[in-house]
Every structure is written in C-alpha cells, then in structure tokens.
Structure 1
Amino acid sequence: MTDDAELPGLPDLSDLLATARVVALPLVTRFRGIDVREALLLEGPEGWTEFSPFAEYDDEEASAWLAAAIDFGWSPAPPALRDAIRVNATVPDVDPDEVRAVLDRFPGCRTAKVKVAASDRTLAQDVARVRVVREVLGPEGRVRLDANAGWNVDEAEHAIHAMAEFDLEYVEQPCATVEELAEIRRRTKYLGIPIAADESVRRASDPLAVAEAGAADLLVVKAQPLGGIRRALAIVAAAGLPVNVSSALDTSVGLAMGAHLAAAMPELEFDCGLGTASLLAADVTDAPLAPVDGAVPVRRVEASAALLDRWAADGDRTAWWLARLERCHAVLATGAGR
C-alpha cells in the first residue's frame, strides 16, 4: 500500500458539500439489476471527480470510494504513459437477439466482456448469448466472460467447459472465494483459459490474498473501490500479476479516473473495461468518455451544469447520498477507510 503521505489530506466536509451534485442517469439496458445509475459528483482543485459506490455497500466499504474521489479531485494524476486506452465492449445478460445492438454501441472494440451466471438466467441462455458475440466479433475478436461470482465450483467447471469452444480470453470471477478460485483454476488449467479475479480484489479485506494464494492468472482493478489511483497502483505492484483496468458503471467523470489509472500502468496487456459510458442513456458531460475506434482518451472530464440539472436526483435520493457522504467522510477521518 502507499504511504498516507502520498495521498491528499482529507478536505473538510463543508468543502465537499459545497460542490456535491447527485445525479440519476438512465441506462440503455438493465445492468447489474438496475435501470438507473446514481452518482455523486464533486469538484476539487484538480477538477471533477466521482463518488458512486453501489447502494448496497456499507459505509466502511463505500469510504474507499470517497478516498478515491478525493485522490482524483484533490491531487494531480500520476504521469501518463499513454494518451489513449483500448477498451472492451460490455454485453449485459441480454437475450441473443439484442447482442448486436449492444455491440454496435462500442464502435471499433475488438474485445467483448459478456455477463453470465445471472440468477435468473440458465446456462443455455448464457451459451446462446456468448455464441452470438463470437459470431459478431469473428474469429479475430476477443471474448471474455464475467460471472460476478455467480457460480459454485462445480457450476463454474461445467459452464467453462460449455463455453470453451468460443476461444475465451479469460473468465472473470467465476466463483466467490479465493479458495474456490484456486480450485476452479486447478480443475480447468488444462483448457488454457485464464482465471481473473475482480471481487476477490476490490471487495476483499486483503486485496493481495488472491495473488498470494495462486488463485488467479490476472487481476481486474478498479480505481474507485480500491481507494484511488495510487492505492490501485500499489496493489498491482505488490501482486506481481498481469492486470486489467475496469470500471463500476461510472459516469464519464469516474471513467476518466479509471483511464488515468490505466495510463499510469507500466504494462497494459488487455483491453480495459472503461467503455461503459456506452451503456448510459445520459451522462453528465457534453463530451462523454465513450469509445471511438475502440479506445477512450486519457483526459479530465468537465461536468456540464445543464446536464447536472437535467439529471439531478430527486430530493429524497439527494438527501440519502449527502448523508452517505457525511458518514463516509467520518469513516475516513478516523483512518478506518484509508
């Protein structure tokens, strides 16, 4: 982990509240069980930044997201080693006949991450969705799966076998625990399909445990859940595994944070999950960080006052987010979230 001296000091709560804006952005397609993505935006000395932990996360977990927002809004980003980031398309658990329309929203993307293992979907439905993705991308395209820890080990083994014919780039978080990841990696190693860890990094008390256990071939890292760009870079350096940089259905402001993280990575082998502005039916900026020719630029994003007003959350939801901001600020003030 980075030394706290490398991180910005904690701004006063009044400084955060002075610029805080809460938005509710509609999605093009239902994703992760939601139709609207809520986020709280802040403007710091370095520009706009984002605090958008999912609603079900408790204050201790959410406080890492606030630390990330402060890091990005109150400190200069680390030096960029690249000025654009190749990104993947993200395919929610839609029906097969909707796949092509989803992929069309990601122009130039040569890689698709396909959501699988939803509780209300069958393996046959997952296979049908992945088959269409492979057909659309062609043999040169890259197809990866994201199960969001939705399978047990036996289910994961069965599913990976069922979809191995689609020449998978990797399978992300097929199971929930580090022990299960290690076991499924052992069982399927002969197939040559790498296992990636996401939740076992960003939602773990020890984000290095999965690497130390030899339970994954690569890590998926996200700036907000890991407490910011500098903390994420420290985790990557300590883990010693290949990494991919992804996002958590952020607005373009949050995606800019992820792009700066990816730009600072010494090595970046995989197309990153930073193209998800294409899943939003609205955004907070007149210049969304959406894919062009399969990549997004590395730049700060300026929020639009008109769009912040247009997509402002209602009074109850705004009050909920501001109260959450205050509680998470208190967690950071005690040092528990940093």
Structure 2
Amino acid sequence: MTRIERRAFSLVLDSSLSTATGEIDRREGIALRVGESPPGVGEATPLPGWTESLEACRSALSDVSNPRSALSILADRPAARHGLSLALADRAARRADVPLYRHLGGGRRVERLAVNATVGDGSAKETVEAAERAVSAGFETIKCKVGARSIGEDLERVRALRDAVGSDVALRLDANGAWDRREADRALSALAGLDVEYVEQPLPADDIGGHRAITDGSVPIALDESLAGRSPEDITLLADAADVLVLKPMALGGPDRVVALGRRIRDRGLDVVVTTTIDAVIARTGAIHAAAALDVKRACGLATADLLTDDLGSDPASVRDGTITVPQTPGLGTDGPWGGRDA
C-alpha cells in the first residue's frame, strides 16, 4: 500500500482576497506526501467558488488509500485531485531525474517565465503609482482590476495608467464578471484605442452567450471564472467565446490536466495563461511547471508568493525583472512543510 502523509495548514493573506462567495483572509488546505524512495509532495487548497469546500476536500483525501486509482474518481473534487496528481507527478519526475515540467511533456529547457504584476482597485493616482512601482521592478505586464467602480471612473484610471507606463508595457484588465452586456459594450468600445492586451471576464461567469456576442476582435477577451466547474471537454468548447483562457491548476484538478487542456485549446486557435489561486509554495511551484511545460509566452499570474504572510516551506522560484524562476532540480523543486526528502 502506498504511504500517504497529510498535513493541514492555514496561511494568512497579506490582504483579503475577493472571491465569488465573498472575502477571504487566509488559505487553508492539506499538504500531501505520497510514497517513499522517493516521496512526492502535493497540495490541496480549495478556493470558494472555484473548487469543492475544504470539508469536502478533506473528506475525499481521508478516504484515499491508493492515490493513483483515486484520481479517476475525484473529477468533482478538483483541489483534492490536484494534491494527489501533483504529488504523483513530483515523485515520478524525481524517479526519472528530470524537472517536473519535463515530465509533464515540456519539450525544451525553460529557465524563466514572464509574470504579470497586479494592480488592485484604487483611484487613478493610486493605480498609476502602483503600476509605476511594478514597472520599476522590471514587470512588463500589468494586470489592473476594474469593475468595482463606474465605467467612467475605470476608463479614467486605464487612460492614466496607459499614459504613465507607455506603449512598451502590456496592459490587461480584469473585471471579475462585474459588467452586464451594455456596460461591457461601452467599456470595450472606449478601450479599443488604448492597446489593451485583453479584458478578463467582462461578463458574469455563466453568460457564455454574452461573451460570444462581444468577442468581435476590437479588444481581446479572456475567460477565467467561466471555467470553474466545467469539464475539460466543456472548456474546449468555449473557443468561440474568448481569445485567451486562464488556466488555474487547483481549479482544474492538477497540472497534468492543465497541460493536456492547454494543448487542446491551442489546437482550437486560442491562447492560454496559467495562474495560481493564491496557493502555498507546493501548488504555486506546480503551476510554474505547468506553464513551463506549455512554454507559455504571455505573462502568467504566478508571482503571488508575496500575497501570503507566511508559507509552507522554502520557495525555489524567485521573481526578478518581471520573470519567475523555473526550478531545474528533479521533481517539483520544493519539499513543503517536510523540509527534506527523507521518507
């Protein structure tokens, strides 16, 4: 029988995170260590609105005795499946003496990935100041939150932001589904001349028809929340409702699923980015390997370590000049709370 160790954890966020079900101020989950000689580590950190509840995740993992066979029965428990699949992939990559992204099918050596900086909702002055700090730190892609204010106020913020950072910095906006179709039409028309890379989730998650209607090429559209709770097959069918899909390994059931889905999406003519769900170091590093396996060229939402006040272990992925390190040691590259690889 395969040995499985489970450790519950709770990590405080530096500031509250807005989700579809409200504000959260900590991330709670289960770290896993699976097998021996060598073991692999994984992380299951549910996020309300995206995955099963913490209670359902904990229950699903407590029932597992054979991790590999359990993967097939955890389709409706994406965080639990993520933890198991990541641990098994980490173990397999260590056995093969390759970095995890190569085990996941990465075809070439990838040492660093572009990452974006995120600017929250604030006044035009606050938005510009935050973006200028990010650009000074080397970030070449800025993601700005919109939708909490009026369309007019947001347009003022975006115009000020574009003027401040210039044309060499990519600018993407995230509305988190805040607009209706009329508001989205107005916003996209006004944004057409501001060289916006894409607007993420302009309409509510379930309004796929609306996204199809506004995907006319004037401003590219990305879908994020609309992917939650959908099967990989259903997600593939969204090709006519967006230009970019935002893939979250924790919400989709593991890095293996993200890599397979990302390739399928690209075959349909869409592009992808990979982001975390504000995870601890194990899952965060797994997302980095998934993005490296896909060799994603767009900036990804992976530079999220500083959103936590503490972590599960040492972080092998430093952020420098708008890029993040892809670990090259065998396996995942972090031991999480165990701090060592002894079985």
* TM-score bin, normalised by smaller chain: 0.7 to 0.9
SS of 1:151 mapped into structure 2: coil
- In structure 2, relative to structure 1, the CA distance for the partners of 1:96 and 1:305 (3 Å cut) is farther
Contact 2:316/2:325 (CA < 8 Å) preserved in 1? no
- The offset of 1:52, in angstroms, is 1.7
Paired AA for residue 78 in structure 2: A
- The offset of 1:169, in angstroms, is 0.6
Equivalent residue number for residue 320 of structure 1 = none
Larger RCO (alpha carbons 8 Å, 6+ apart) = 1
2-structure distance, mates of 1:134, 1:283: 34
- Where in structure 1 are there 5+ consecutive unaligned residues? 1-10, 307-338
Equivalent residue number for residue 297 of structure 2 = 269
Contact 1:89/1:109 (CA < 8 Å) preserved in 2? yes
- 1:134-170 CA-partner distances (Å, limit 9, x unpaired): 2443221000111222222211111122333331011
Match 2:33 to one of 44, 50, 56: 44
Contact 1:84/1:297 (CA < 8 Å) preserved in 2? yes
- In structure 2, relative to structure 1, the CA distance for the partners of 1:298 and 1:73 (3 Å cut) is same
Contact 1:41/1:48 (CA < 8 Å) preserved in 2? no
Q: CA RMSD in A?
A: 2.8
- Where in structure 2 are there 5+ consecutive unaligned residues? 57-73, 94-99, 328-332
- In structure 2, relative to structure 1, the CA distance for the partners of 1:246 and 1:179 (3 Å cut) is same
SS of 2:193 mapped into structure 1: helix
2-structure distance, mates of 1:103, 1:254: 29
- In structure 2, relative to structure 1, the CA distance for the partners of 1:279 and 1:37 (3 Å cut) is same
Equivalent residue number for residue 141 of structure 2 = 111
1-structure distance, mates of 2:173, 2:288: 22
Q: Is residue 197 of structure 1 aligned with residue 223 of structure 2?
A: yes
What are the within-5 Å matches in structure 2 for residues 1-338 of structure 1? Answer: 15=4, 18-28=5-15, 31-32=18-19, 34=23, 36-45=25-34, 46-56=39-49, 57-58=51-52, 59=56, 63-75=77-89, 76=93, 77-79=100-102, 80=106, 81=108, 82-99=110-127, 100-101=129-130, 104=133, 107-118=137-148, 121-175=149-203, 176=205, 177-186=207-216, 189=217, 191=218, 193-205=219-231, 206-211=234-239, 214-239=240-265, 240=267, 241-265=270-294, 267-287=295-315, 289-299=317-327, 300-303=333-336
2-structure distance, mates of 1:285, 1:124: 44
SS of 1:166 mapped into structure 2: coil
1-structure distance, mates of 2:143, 2:279: 16
1-structure distance, mates of 2:48, 2:29: 12
TM-score, scaled to structure 1: 0.74
- In structure 2, relative to structure 1, the CA distance for the partners of 1:275 and 1:156 (3 Å cut) is same
Contact 2:113/2:296 (CA < 8 Å) preserved in 1? no
Aligned length: 284
2-structure distance, mates of 1:225, 1:88: 20
Contact 1:92/1:114 (CA < 8 Å) preserved in 2? yes
Paired AA for residue 96 in structure 1: A
Equivalent residue number for residue 3 of structure 1 = none
Identity of aligned residues (%): 30
2-structure distance, mates of 1:137, 1:288: 30
- 1:200-257 CA-partner distances (Å, limit 9, x unpaired): 334324211201xx11122211111111111112222222222111121222322111
